[in-house]
Amino acid sequence: GDNYISGDNIELENVTGSYVRNEQDLPVAVIGLDNVAVIATENGILVTNKGEAQKVGDISKRIQAKN
């Protein structure tokens, strides 16, 4: 329970305390995880433990620098 879902084409199985956002047409499936964030955008897919979310800005900059 207590998952936050945003977007379409998302399937969860045995997932708790998580945030899943899908901005794409492809399906996103998450199985057997707790306390994660999964974000699928046109720029890429991020999967992280929610406790590490403060590092998202740093990794986004690294990804942008490669592209």
How far apart CA 52 and CA 47 sit, in angstroms, is 10
The reported pTM is: 0.84
HSE at residue 36, side-chain half, CA atoms within 13 A, is: 16
How far apart CA 21 and CA 16 sit, in angstroms, is 15
Q: pLDDT for 2-38, tens place per residue?
A: 999 999 999 999 999 999 999 999 999 999 999 999 9
CB neighbourhood size of 41 (10 A) = 12
From residue 17, how far is each of 5, 38, 53, 63 by CA, in Å?
11, 12, 14, 27
Q: Per-residue pLDDT for 1 more than 70?
A: no
